[in-house]
Structure 1
Amino acid sequence: MATSNDIKNGSVLNLDGNLWTIIDFQHVKPGKGGAFVRTKMKNVMTGKTVDKTFNAGTKVEFETVDRRDMQYLYSDGTGYVFMDPNTFDQVTVSEAVMGDATDYLLESEKATIGSHNGNPIFLELPASVVLEVTYTEPGLQGDRSSGGTKPATLETGKEIQVPLFLEQGTRVKVNTSSGDYLGRVTD
């Protein structure tokens, strides 16, 4: 069994029957007292993030998670079907595992799927995606890029805030973790 000294970013731990992914860690050796490992962990199933501190040398149970880059194909009503572009294997991911990823995912987009014992347990999207604005109110004469914002609906149905000057049909870059507008994309 491994110890807390082996913790790295991306490691998956089994704590009390729940799987947790290490988002960030820091080994701390204070001048007085014993060393410890400070971590920020994300529950693989619920997405809840917590901070936890382990004493140095504490025994922890690591889990093996298979991470594969896959391509989104379609939604079949019961889940979302992804395909491995190398082996053409298909995997169905449940809506619970998908979470908010459906707001940013178009057909043939790539995503990383993590599986444990053959079951998909999490999905990682790229840091940003490019989507088209399908509806937004028209901007007014004199609107500037440093002005306010207005709501815009993307092709996936997600609504975000965009600058006043953007028009319907514009392609925009969107942060997948926060849903923030990052800029226009010109092809």
Structure 2
Amino acid sequence: MKINGNQITPGNVLQHKGGLWVAVKTNAVKPGKGGAFNQVELKNLIDGTKLNERFRADETVDKVRLDQKDFQFLYAEGENLIFMDLETYEQLELHEDFVGERAAFLQDGITVTVELYEGKPIGITLPQHVTLEIVEADPVVKGQTAASSYKPAKMENGVRIMVPPFVTTGERIVVDTNELTYVKRAD
């Protein structure tokens, strides 16, 4: 679908210069002299490179529509992660680099959303929060309670995060998968 350069908003996926780019930031500029333009920060969906472009209001760009499908994580096989389409039950194999460091948060049966462009996966979204058990936490040091102090803790998936002093080994906590931060104790 074609849109004008001044209609680009953050989150739009564009086909530009032979690649797929997502608009990260946009800034409408109306200089005193000359025509108005939209200053857009773009991020490549494939390799993550960034690009700053100016789009005039009379320019048109191709806005791309991505398909989003829910998949269930089944298991890891070497460096590959196996997912199942919840509608067709077909399996999808993705390299762990595609998911990145957040692959540590994949648990059996967890549902993820995969973004597809012409049937090819280009992005993955994990659930915002997951519940994990603390397997190692430093003891609380007396006298540190005056200031809000966090301590390091290791979760069952091997990832280390900072937790409040009252969290102990064996407790289950809720973790934000995007920020890699402690949210709350699990119910």
TM-score, scaled to structure 2: 0.82
Which residue does the alignment assign to 1:137? Answer: 138
Assess, with a 3 A threshold, how the Cα gap between structure 1 residues 59 and 112 changes in structure 2: closer, same or farther: same
Which residue does the alignment assign to 1:82? Answer: 83
Q: Counterpart amino acid of 2:76?
A: S
Assess, with a 3 A threshold, how the Cα gap between structure 1 residues 54 and 166 changes in structure 2: closer, same or farther: same
Cα-Cα RMSD: 2.6
Assess, with a 3 A threshold, how the Cα gap between structure 1 residues 53 and 69 changes in structure 2: closer, same or farther: farther
Q: In structure 2, how many angstroms separate the alpha carbons of the residues matched to 1:157 and 1:52?
A: 40
Q: In structure 2, how many angstroms separate the alpha carbons of the residues matched to 1:125 and 1:57?
A: 38
Q: Counterpart amino acid of 1:61?
A: D
Q: Unpaired segments of 5 or more residues in structure 2?
A: none
Q: In structure 1, how many angstroms separate the alpha carbons of the residues matched to 2:127 and 2:50?
A: 19
Q: Secondary structure of the residue that 1:22 maps to in structure 2?
A: strand
Q: In structure 1, how many angstroms separate the alpha carbons of the residues matched to 2:128 and 2:58?
A: 34
The offset of 1:127, in angstroms, is 2.8
Assess, with a 3 A threshold, how the Cα gap between structure 1 residues 169 and 47 changes in structure 2: closer, same or farther: farther
The offset of 1:151, in angstroms, is 1.3
Which residue does the alignment assign to 1:3? Answer: 4
Assess, with a 3 A threshold, how the Cα gap between structure 1 residues 126 and 163 changes in structure 2: closer, same or farther: same
Q: In structure 2, how many angstroms separate the alpha carbons of the residues matched to 1:44 and 1:176?
A: 20
The offset of 1:51, in angstroms, is 4.8
Q: In structure 1, how many angstroms separate the alpha carbons of the residues matched to 2:152 and 2:94?
A: 30
* Structure 1 position 54 matched with structure 2 position 59: no
Q: Secondary structure of the residue that 2:154 maps to in structure 1?
A: strand
Q: Secondary structure of the residue that 1:62 maps to in structure 2?
A: strand
Assess, with a 3 A threshold, how the Cα gap between structure 1 residues 181 and 42 changes in structure 2: closer, same or farther: farther
Q: In structure 1, how many angstroms separate the alpha carbons of the residues matched to 2:3 and 2:49?
A: 24
Which residue does the alignment assign to 1:70? Answer: 71
Q: Unpaired segments of 5 or more residues in structure 1?
A: none
Q: In structure 2, how many angstroms separate the alpha carbons of the residues matched to 1:50 and 1:130?
A: 37
> Which shifted more, 33-42 or 13-22?
33-42
* Structure 1 position 149 matched with structure 2 position 144: no
TM-score, scaled to structure 1: 0.82
Aligned structure 1 segments of 4 or more residues deviating by more than 6 angstroms: none
Q: In structure 2, how many angstroms separate the alpha carbons of the residues matched to 1:162 and 1:41?
A: 35
Is 1:144–1:165's contact at 8 Å kept on the other side of the alignment? no
| Bigger-Rg structure (1/2) | 2
Assess, with a 3 A threshold, how the Cα gap between structure 1 residues 40 and 130 changes in structure 2: closer, same or farther: farther
Paired residue total: 185
Residues 120-135 of structure 1: pairs in structure 2 closer than 5 A: 120-135=121-136
Which residue does the alignment assign to 1:30? Answer: 30
Is 1:73–1:83's contact at 8 Å kept on the other side of the alignment? yes
> Which shifted more, 149-158 or 129-138?
129-138
